[in-house]
Structure 1
Amino acid sequence: MTLRFPSEIVVERFLPTVRAELAIELDERGLTQQEIADHLGVSQAAVSQYVGGDTPIEERFAEDDRFRATVETIADGFAAGTMDGYEALGELLALIRAFEDRGPICAVHEEEMPALDGIGCDLCVRGTDDAVEAERAALAAVRRASRRLANARGIATHIPNVGTNVGTAVPGATDETDVAAVPGRLQTVGSRVIVPADPEFGASQRVAETILAATSIDPETRGALNLATSDELLAAAREQGYDPLQFEAGYENREQRLRERFDKRGEVPRVIYHDGTFGIPPVTYVLGETATDAAERAIELLRQATEEA
């Protein structure tokens, strides 16, 4: 029996197909061949072959709806600057896992290694570790939110002196080690916003305690970020139908105090703020189901606040 590994199918058939399809999609979105080469980690000459249709593709991959959706998601993200190589790799690895689990990679593998056909091979069937998937989802949400904030127009003027952090908790979070956030926080350099590191669990205290207070009342509210408090930001929140909740700025027992305020209101507000105190600058927190949701809400608030300033 000739041995063929599923990884060989990935390298020899899946990888050329996905690169060729991505090159075509990115070309249609107006990227130069060198820009496409940089994204795909190949030469410009290789991109020319991909775009020219000179690379054989595996139709069983290319025609699969999951494949098409993943390629379009990555192409849109690359073209808009909202996705990096790390996130793209995550999308593709998830697709590979799905294709190996009774999917097209499995079908090609059985074709090239006939001894597997009909024996119910389950060498690549992994199952799902819910805890690991939840952690990956939280990290991905923070990564997306950070990038969207960093790319948002005019965001730098709303970053507090202490920096902005962005967080997402895993379901059932009980302490800050269950909350993914950005080590070092987002910081301003001139008019630019810098994301200093990839997200990690336990990388925030203040945003984490805000999220933990929120999720104790509403388990679906697991994301938050902080911005500098301003009259324009609060006015924008009210005009968009939010009722900002003011709370005391002190750090002592803040999580418990927020929990009590949320419980008294009977819901978790999407915007909460304080006006600062000695040694504590005024900060507004925007909350959502995830960090990504909170970031989208914050960007919309800032857009309106900037227009009205």
Structure 2
Amino acid sequence: MTLQLPSEIVVERFLPTLRVRLAAALDDRGMTQQEIADRLGVTQASVSNYVGGGVEGEKRFLEDERFEATVERVAEGFADGTMDDYEAIAELLELIRAFEDRGPICAIHETEVPALRGLGCDLCIRGRDADLRAERTAIESVRRAARAATNAPALVDHVPNVGTNIATARPDAADELDVAAIPGRVHAMHGRINVPSDPELGASEHVAGMVLAAMDVDASMRGAINLATSEAVLAAARERGIDPIEFEAGYEDRRRRLAAAFEERGSVPRIVYHTGAFGIEPITYVLGETAVEAVSLAAELVGDGDGE
């Protein structure tokens, strides 16, 4: 693991980029290199290097409209005397806070510290708290489940044409943004399960919706994977004493309808399926307390189904 603080990114990447761009903006407004150096707190030689193209700066800052707007505002204030150093620092600190809140600083931090990837991290804004730990736990559950899926060859033949997703919700999940899943879904490619990217919060709609409906009735049922509906898998479930529940394929008000069906049954079943509709592929959802548990059950069921 690489330990790097966001403040290091500010000092090592944001500040040099800011100086390069601000020096150029002040130069365009007719200030001398020594005047610019005094404003920026650097040497005249450094300013000469900045305006001469000797330092390029970080593209992720330079391409952000907020960065350019702040630079222009500060440069104009310095040039016409309407902004002092205190006001300029206030403008720049506000920009840094915005960039730390899922902005370019956050993106660079995520690249430099792989443990943060996929967390939708706002550690700089929230600090260390229970919410962040819950997010990490959900994401790690999906990561482990995806790894298990790639090691279950029998699942390949049961991946729907639209793809599979694997999900685990936070314990207090309210909507899809609280459910970790695989962006872009999981697909069968060349006889193998292909997981295109690391799990993230908010990366699923339909599998997440199924999990949320289950949690409306049983808060412990926080994991799921979807498969193509097949009689073999449904039969394998029944042989294990699992009684699947069927529902209509339409998407309208699906969460409410599913929760009502679970309430009527008195529990959340491990297998929930539909047989499709116009433009909707038949899908079976395998549920569990986590994504790992759901994938484990799915792998057992497709193994039984393929063996018949």
Q: What TM-score bracket applies, with the shorter chain setting the length?
A: 0.5 to 0.7
Tell me the residue number matched to 1:143.
Answer: 143
Tell me the residue number matched to 1:175.
Answer: 175
Moved over 3 A (4+): none
Return the offset for 1:176: 0.3
Name the CA distance, whole Å, in 2 between partners of 1:277 and 1:222: 27
Mapped contact 2:154–2:299 kept (Cα < 8 A): no
| 3-state SS of paired residue (2:180) | strand
Deviations 1:94-133 (A, max 9, x none): xxxxxxxxxxxxxxxxxxxxxxxxxxxxxxxxx9732111
Return the offset for 1:236: 0.3
Pairwise mapping of residues 175-194 of structure 1 onto structure 2 (< 5 A)? 175-194=175-194
Return the offset for 1:235: 0.3
Q: Report sequence identity in percent.
A: 54
Return the offset for 1:187: 0.6
Pairwise mapping of residues 59-70 of structure 1 onto structure 2 (< 5 A)? none
Name the CA distance, whole Å, in 2 between partners of 1:179 and 1:262: 20
Return the offset for 1:225: 0.9
TM-score by length of 1: 0.58
Name the CA distance, whole Å, in 1 between partners of 2:157 and 2:280: 18
Tell me the residue number matched to 1:253.
Answer: 253
Structure with the greater alpha carbon radius of gyration: 2
Pairwise mapping of residues 211-290 of structure 1 onto structure 2 (< 5 A)? 211-290=211-290
Mapped contact 2:275–2:283 kept (Cα < 8 A): yes
Tell me the residue number matched to 1:198.
Answer: 198
Return the offset for 1:264: 0.5
Name the CA distance, whole Å, in 2 between partners of 1:278 and 1:199: 30
Name the CA distance, whole Å, in 1 between partners of 2:257 and 2:244: 16
TM-score by length of 2: 0.58
Return 5+ residue gaps in structure 2 as ranges. Answer: 4-113, 116-126
**Number of residue pairs aligned between Structure 1 and Structure 2:** 185
Mapped contact 2:159–2:228 kept (Cα < 8 A): yes
Tell me the residue number matched to 2:40.
Answer: none
Name the CA distance, whole Å, in 1 between partners of 2:188 and 2:153: 13
Name the CA distance, whole Å, in 1 between partners of 2:128 and 2:218: 26
Name the CA distance, whole Å, in 2 between partners of 1:204 and 1:157: 21
Name the CA distance, whole Å, in 2 between partners of 1:137 and 1:292: 12
Return the offset for 1:190: 2.1
Name the CA distance, whole Å, in 2 between partners of 1:128 and 1:136: 12
| 3-state SS of paired residue (1:154) | helix
